[in-house]
């Protein structure tokens, strides 16, 4: 599993210097509005506090030429609410037409839409750390979906989902703070033989 960094080209370069083998590319969001500077990228909808379909749509339109390099586009969702996220999928998935659409799994999850081609594990800390989330990841991998884990800022969470086989992850702390990636990478190297 590798990180997508929500940051500028300078910050991504810094993260690559720290731990190049753990960096996959860039995460674009309507919240931070960084310009795409990586060949490998993905789009989050920036809806941790509230849905931002307009900002998400702008990213989809602006990056259309580079959609083939996009790992996934996380369709707007409602944090900690699967039922509302399903309803929002119906309203907003068209914004990501032409991209690999990611459904964001939330608390109360029971299914993903049949036109989702990627899976993003969101939700509360309790949901993310649950056996249920683990089973959702494994089911998505079995279906051949790209699986991304949100809010990965600690080695324990990284270790858990890396061992399961998730493809990518992100974490605001990892993106922003040197010491967080340094600590995680040090532990990764100590446990490398167990998790590769």
What is the rounded CA–CA span in Å between residue 25 and residue 154? Answer: 19
- Residue appearing with tokens 């919240």: 31
Domains of the chain: 2-195 (3.20.20.60)
Tokens of 57: 């749509």
What is the rounded CA–CA span in Å between residue 187 and residue 125? Answer: 22
CA distances from 35 to 16, 50, 117 (A): 18, 22, 25
Q: Which are the contacts of 5, defined by CB distance < 8 A and separation ≥ 6?
A: 11, 12, 15, 23, 25, 26, 27, 170, 174, 175
What is the rounded CA–CA span in Å between residue 135 and residue 25? Answer: 26
Dihedral angle sign, alpha carbons of residues 15, 17, 22, 28: positive
Q: Which are the contacts of 61, defined by CB distance < 8 A and separation ≥ 6?
A: none
- What's the confidence (pLDDT) of residue 106? 97
SS3 string, 137-149, reads HHHHHHCCCEEEE
List the chain pLDDT tens, one digit each, 196 residues.
999 999 999 999 999 999 999 999 999 999 999 999 999 999 999 876 777 799 999 999 999 999 999 999 999 999 999 999 999 999 999 999 999 999 999 999 999 999 999 999 999 999 999 999 999 999 999 999 999 999 999 999 999 999 999 999 999 999 999 999 999 999 999 988 776 5
């Amino acid at each position: 599993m590798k990180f997508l960094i929500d940051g500028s080209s300078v910050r991504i370069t810094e993260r690559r210097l720290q731990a190049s083998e753990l960096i996959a590319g860039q995460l674009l969001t309507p919240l931070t509005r960084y310009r795409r500077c990586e060949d490998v990228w993905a789009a989050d909808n920036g809806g941790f506090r509230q849905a931002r379909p307009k900002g998400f749509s702008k990213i989809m339109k602006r990056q259309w030429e580079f959609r083939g390099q996009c790992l996934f586009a996380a369709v707007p969702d409602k944090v900690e609410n699967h039922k509302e996220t399903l309803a929002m999928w119906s309203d907003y998935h068209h914004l990501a037409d032409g991209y690999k659409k990611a459904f964001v799994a939330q608390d109360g999850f029971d299914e993903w839409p049949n036109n989702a081609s990627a899976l993003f594990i969101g939700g509360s800390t309790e949901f993310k750390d649950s056996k249920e989330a683990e089973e959702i990841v494994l089911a998505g991998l079995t279906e051949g979906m790209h699986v991304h884990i949100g809010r990965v800022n600690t080695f324990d969470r990284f270790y858990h989902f890396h061992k399961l086989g998730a493809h990518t992850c992100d974490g605001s702390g990892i993106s922003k703070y040197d010491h967080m990636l340094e600590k995680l990478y040090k532990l990764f190297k100590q446990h490398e033989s167990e998790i590769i």
